[in-house]
A and B are shown apart, each in its own frame.
Chain A
Amino acid sequence: MDLSPIWLTLKLAAITTLLLLLVGVPIAWWLSKGRSFFKTLIEAIITMPLVLPPSVLGFYLLLAFSPQHGLGKWLQDSFDVQFVFSFKGLVLASFIYSMPFMIGPIKSALQQLPASLTQASYTLGKSPWQTFKSVLLPNIKPSLLTAIVLTFAHTLGEFGVVLMIGGNIPNVTRVASIAVYDSVERMDYAAANNYSLILFAITFVMVISVFIFNKYQAKSPLE
């Protein structure tokens, strides 16, 4: 059995989760502070992948980053970077597609903390960053873990969006979900079953771990 789609999937999920953690946490913090039309607009854009068919998102990404025109052409000509049919493209698509799974739970958790925690920290002379690092972030740990696991697990299961922008290139863009589809197409049900079982097992272990870890601290990821 060729395990490269599994490793590629795990690598994609790990990179996507790490990048989203770095970018998503500050965005969630910013979104959690007050309301404005601009914030509502940004939040709607971030939430779109939740409701948009993955193939639609993948199609637009394919158009946007196609090296023949527009942004894709400029990236190709200026920096010799090509997103379409490459692992980089998978990372970009996964980043956009999984964004609501990272930002949503963190933003909600931050909004649920009493405003007086931040205010108390400010009156002790602490900056917004110190307050975030020492007071807010430690108090949303269960939600942070939920967001990380949801993002990772969701990236493992991506199909439409990665197929559109990455295709099915072995060792480059052929992730596990595509390998399942490909195996079924070839009537190789044994291989499809193996890939599916591995994905199922990984996802189940991750989700059950979150439930156990958060048992006494937070709501389940499905609440």
Chain B
Amino acid sequence: MIAIAIEKSLKVYQGKRVLKIEHEFAQGSITKIYGPSGAGKTTFLKVIAGLVNAEKGKIVVDGTTWLNTDTGINIAPQKRVPGFVFQDYALFPNMTVLEHLHYATTDTTWINSLLALGKLETLTDHKPIHLSGGQQQRLAILRALAIKPKLLLMDEPFSALDPDMKAELINELKVVFKEIGATVLIVSHNPVELEGLVNGELYISV
């Protein structure tokens, strides 16, 4: 169970706005997060990951407090180790596909399964600049999965994939999420792409 209650002030065109979210996510659930642009979806994921600080709030993951502004607890992202798929992929330009995965884990069997999952087996020595947008996005997903996270945060993770690749990958991811026992939060603008994958929704309004 992941219990979140946070308040974070956002800078918006008209000044400031408070992003206030209170929600519970069941262990192993896959939740779609949606809402208008600028609502704070990415910020919400980053607050959970510990990459952005909330002014006020509490995050408890499987009984462990990650954040409690009342008691001053704020666990570093390195201790939270959430899987995170960034909207801009955040791939390391100096690393090849294989080096990305080796940077995240030393488990070579797992790396080989991930490469097969993302259909990147033949591109292991390619750097991001030599990958297509879809391949880069798949690598970003594989890198986040490499650490076998208990909480996976995905920010528009399928936006650059063609419909066939997306459908196939989503089907396979469903199995992987179950296998590693991850609770997954997926930000998506597409109303249909996550059908059959998610079992919950969270709307963030402006």
Q: Which residues of A contact B (CB under 8 A)?
A: 114, 116-117, 119-127, 134-135, 138-139, 141
Contacts and interface: CB of A to CB of B under 8 A. Distances in A.
A119 B83 CA distance: 11
A151 B81 CA distance: 40
B84 A126 contact: no
Contacts of B80: 123
B143 A124 contact: yes
Given A123-B81, A141-B94, 18 more contacts: A114-B88, A116-B86, A116-B88, A117-B90, A117-B92, A119-B86, A120-B90, A121-B92, A121-B103, A122-B76, A122-B78, A123-B77, A123-B144, A125-B78, A125-B81, A125-B147, A126-B103, A139-B92
A120 B81 contact: no
A114 B91 CA distance: 10
A138 B103 CA distance: 14
B202 interface: no
B49 A123 contact: yes
B93 interface: yes
A119 B78 CA distance: 10
Contacts of A119: 46, 49, 51, 77, 84, 86, 90
Contacts of A124: 81, 103-104, 143, 146-147
A13 B50 CA distance: 44
Contacts of A117: 90, 92
Interface in B134-160: 143-144, 146-147
Contacts of A114: 88, 90
Nearest to B76: A122
Contacts of B86: 116, 119-120
Interface string B9-34: 00000000000000000000000000
Contacts of B51: 119, 122-123
B82 interface: yes
B131 to A, nearest CB: 16
Nearest to A137: B94
Contacts of A116: 86, 88, 90
A123 B76 CA distance: 9
B92 A126 contact: no
